[in-house]
Amino acid sequence: MDNFFNGIRDRQGEKVSIFYCGRNIEGYSSEPVSLALYSKGYKVLGRSKKLYRFRGFYSLDPQDRIVLTKIGDEYVNACEIYCQDGQNIEVDFSTPFLVKVFSPLLDGYFQHRRFVKNRILWRLAVDKIKQMANHPEVRHIEARKTGRIIRVASDIVVVGGGLAGLTAAYTVSQLGLKTLIIDKSIELGGRLRYDYMDVPGVPVSREYLLEDILTKISSDGNIKTLTRTIFTGFFEDYPTAYSQEERTLYILKAKGFIIATGVVDLPCIFRNNDIPGIFSASTVLEMVNRYRVKLGEKSLIIGLSQNSLRIAEQLKRSGIDVVMVDNSRSQSIQSDLSRVGECIVNVREIEAVGRKCVEKANIIHDDGRDRLEVDFIVCSAFSNPDILILNQLDSRLIYIGGVGFVPVHDEYMHLKDNIFIAGGVSGSPYSILHLIEGEIAALSAAYKLGAKEVEPLIEEKIKEYRTKLNEMNVKWKNKVFRNSRSELIENSSFTYPPTLFIERPRRDAFICFCEDITTEDISRTVHEKGYTLLELVKRSLGVCTGRCQGRLCMVNAALYVSYLSNLDPSQVGLTKARAPVTSIPLYILAGGEEE
């Protein structure tokens, strides 16, 4: 049984020794390298690509690759690699001379405009900067032969090991179908693993719910699981998945797919929002509850919602003081604020202060200014369905205010062809809906594969589903269902971006961390070039083309362009995503031995 009041317990796993820039550090084999470093006070994992700003990690999700760190002889995501004895981690803190000289002039836009009137001289200057800034000498390295390529056959592949995915997998297996679960975490369970409060709407405790579903999964002979593995996407020949830990590429052969990838906690947009010590909401819960990392004494939570209140309450129980801020006043939850502490509303601008990590936060609001000493900042203002895989499929997406870009699907949780969705990726906000959606998706997939006897069960579940939607006032789902039966997409009204906490475009407020694209860069592109389609902004600046493939920046960029151009987000649109969603080393493709 979980108990907050036992203090910070030792993290699980075997103790190992790793080396950070020559310093011997103690870590645990069951934790990512990034956490081992952070717990010892080493928060900088590298420099940004263009501006050479100090960067840490925003999320523990292996797909959220803001920065790569040299571990051994490879540059990899330190949140994806787990501690091993004798590991050597190197971080370069230096800045090239020309970058230092030109730093007052440089921004994410610098390759697209000239500071020098002479075109030839400017081109030479840019080429020289590019050579010295983050373009290391190319060496000849022989391709390794240690990678594997494995073919896996199954009736149904479930992508995502959270509540919806596990429910779908178990339901499918009970119908006699072989099921494969692919999850990028070290363990199945999703948020149930680290959110220690009970699931709203579910009559049993969180601990019992998690234990029950995992027991069923582990004892079911029809279910196989791949953890620490990322579903890389649908290709013309076959879908694939990749495990960095196992250096293995999986070629998947299946008759149906259920996508249950959950949501993405979007970064908040404020001044210096890229420095180490700024985390996603789910990452903070995972660090505190699952890995028992001591984050500090005081936190700033950006966003005022039921989700941020859950986070605030759990941080308070862990002995961390909380200050909550929001850019509006939410009357519906004012009565709940007394249990979490101080709350500042009607915030106009936030500035994080600190060189190598967060030390303070300046808050400008309607009643004045506040300067707070904080140890870390939590971005909990807005979460969007994790649509990266669905966007690859060219799925139709509709923007719903307060929910985000939602894939168009019907009551049967059918997306297109033999692909179904369930859980947070469908936009549903409550776990009880995720449970029901997992069952509906599983039954619908089985019906499409020929199990006609499940038709009465599907209709019964859909009836229960509609009842729950009405009870929980999730009326916007009807709009999604209507669009699934029509070729026309209903436009949404323009809304203020929920993640925006600046009064004007800033050159230190980042939207794309991979490519160092700021709000000032995007504002200049919209106003000077007249681009109001995100695809055109992408081609101009390179936003959404970095390591995370737009997972963290695409929705924020679309909403910001929508705000600047006064268009609804559906008109601005999203960029075209392409597989794979994560990097696959060339030596795996070139030298992998097929099994």
Q: So what's the pLDDT on residue 417?
A: 92
* Confidence label for 4 from pLDDT (cuts 50, 70 and 90): very low
Position 452, amino acid: K
Please indicate, yes or no, whether residues 258 and 390 belong to a single structural domain of this protein: yes
Please indicate, yes or no, whether residues 363 and 394 belong to a single structural domain of this protein: no
Please indicate, yes or no, whether residues 332 and 231 belong to a single structural domain of this protein: no
Q: So what's the pLDDT on residue 236?
A: 86
Residue 16 structure tokens: 């190992």
Q: Count structural domains, the chain.
A: 4
Give yes or no for a cis peptide into 580 (omega within 30° of 0). Answer: yes
More confident residue, 485 or 154: 154
Q: So what's the pLDDT on residue 570?
A: 87
Please indicate, yes or no, whether residues 405 and 458 belong to a single structural domain of this protein: yes
Q: So what's the pLDDT on residue 137?
A: 53
Does residue 361 sit within a domain?
yes
The DSSP result for 528-583, as a single string, is HH---SHHHHHHHH-TT-STTTTTTTHHHHHHHHHHHHT--HHHH--PPP-S-SS-
Phi, psi of 70 (to 5 degrees): -80, 110
Q: So what's the pLDDT on residue 3?
A: 40
493: left (phi over 0), alpha (psi -120 to 50) or beta: beta
Tell which residue, 370, 376, 379, 371, has the closest CA to residue 358.
376
Q: Distance of CA 502 to CAs 92, 122, 221, 345, 346, Å?
A: 31, 32, 53, 14, 12
The angle formed by the CA atoms of residues 189, 195 and 198, to the nearest 5 degrees, is 95
Does residue 32 sit within a domain?
yes
* Confidence label for 234 from pLDDT (cuts 50, 70 and 90): very high
CB 407 within 8 A of CB 387: yes
The DSSP result for 413-453, as a single string, is -EEETTEEE-GGGGT---HHHHHHHHHHHHHHHHHHTT-GG
* Confidence label for 118 from pLDDT (cuts 50, 70 and 90): low
Phi, psi of 25 (to 5 degrees): -130, 140
Please indicate, yes or no, whether residues 556 and 513 belong to a single structural domain of this protein: yes
Rounded mean pLDDT of 157-177?
A: 97
Helices 519-529, 534-541: inter-axial angle, 10-degree rounding: 110
Q: So what's the pLDDT on residue 122?
A: 67
pLDDT digits (tens, 9 = 90+) for 400-426: 988 999 999 999 999 999 999 999 999
Q: So what's the pLDDT on residue 459?
A: 96
Please indicate, yes or no, whether residues 209 and 243 belong to a single structural domain of this protein: yes
Of 342, 357, 381, the domain-final residue: 381
CB 231 within 8 A of CB 63: no
Please indicate, yes or no, whether residues 360 and 445 belong to a single structural domain of this protein: no
Position 519, amino acid: T
Tell which residue, 68, 233, 182, has the closest CA to residue 576.
233
Please indicate, yes or no, whether residues 260 and 402 belong to a single structural domain of this protein: yes
Where is mean pLDDT largest: 120-124, 125-129, 253-257? 253-257
Distance between CA atoms of residues 407 and 400, nearest Å? 10
Residue 566 structure tokens: 């006064």
Q: So what's the pLDDT on residue 119?
A: 66
* Confidence label for 145 from pLDDT (cuts 50, 70 and 90): low
More confident residue, 513 or 339: 513
Cα separation of the two ends of the chain:
42
Please indicate, yes or no, whether residues 257 and 169 belong to a single structural domain of this protein: yes
Where is mean pLDDT largest: 198-212, 299-313, 335-349? 299-313
Does residue 492 sit within a domain?
no
pTM: 0.91
CATH code, domain carrying 551: 1.10.10.1100
Q: So what's the pLDDT on residue 1?
A: 35
Rounded mean pLDDT of 108-134?
A: 62
Please indicate, yes or no, whether residues 128 and 256 belong to a single structural domain of this protein: no
Of 110, 135, 160, the domain-final residue: 135
Residue 131 has pLDDT above 70, yes or no: no
* Confidence label for 488 from pLDDT (cuts 50, 70 and 90): low
Q: For all residues of the chain together, what is the average pLDDT?
A: 88
Residue 8 has pLDDT above 50, yes or no: no
pLDDT digits (tens, 9 = 90+) for 564-579: 999 999 889 999 888 8
Does residue 95 sit within a domain?
yes
Question: Strand pairing of 69-71 and 88-90?
Answer: antiparallel
Give me the percent of the chain exceeding a pLDDT of 90.
69
Residue 250 structure tokens: 């999986």
Does residue 97 sit within a domain?
yes
Please indicate, yes or no, whether residues 111 and 211 belong to a single structural domain of this protein: no
Q: How far out from the chain centre does Cα 268 lie?
A: 13
Does residue 491 sit within a domain?
no
Residue 529 has pLDDT above 70, yes or no: yes
Helices 431-448, 163-173: inter-axial angle, 10-degree rounding: 30
CATH code, domain carrying 179: 3.50.50.60
Does residue 496 sit within a domain?
no
Q: 364 exposed, middle or buried (CB, 10 Å; 0-12, 13-18, 19+)?
A: middle
Q: Coil, strand or helix: which one is 393?
A: coil
Rounded mean pLDDT of 250-259?
A: 97
* Confidence label for 590 from pLDDT (cuts 50, 70 and 90): confident
Which range has the worst mean pLDDT, 3-17, 156-170, 198-212, 322-336? 3-17
Residue 545 has pLDDT above 60, yes or no: yes
Q: So what's the pLDDT on residue 74?
A: 86
Tell which residue, 400, 374, 376, has the closest CA to residue 387.
400
Rounded mean pLDDT of 462-480?
A: 94
Q: So what's the pLDDT on residue 176?
A: 95
The DSSP bridge partners found for residue 510 are 518
pLDDT digits (tens, 9 = 90+) for 268-317: 999 999 999 999 999 999 999 999 998 999 999 999 988 999 999 999 99
pLDDT digits (tens, 9 = 90+) for 351-382: 999 989 999 999 999 999 999 999 999 999 99
CATH code, domain carrying 6: 3.10.20.440
Please indicate, yes or no, whether residues 450 and 542 belong to a single structural domain of this protein: no
* Confidence label for 6 from pLDDT (cuts 50, 70 and 90): very low
Of 356, 381, 406, the domain-final residue: 381
Range of the domain at 363: 267-381
More confident residue, 124 or 56: 56
Does residue 237 sit within a domain?
yes
Positive or negative torsion for Cα 226, 229, 234, 237 = negative
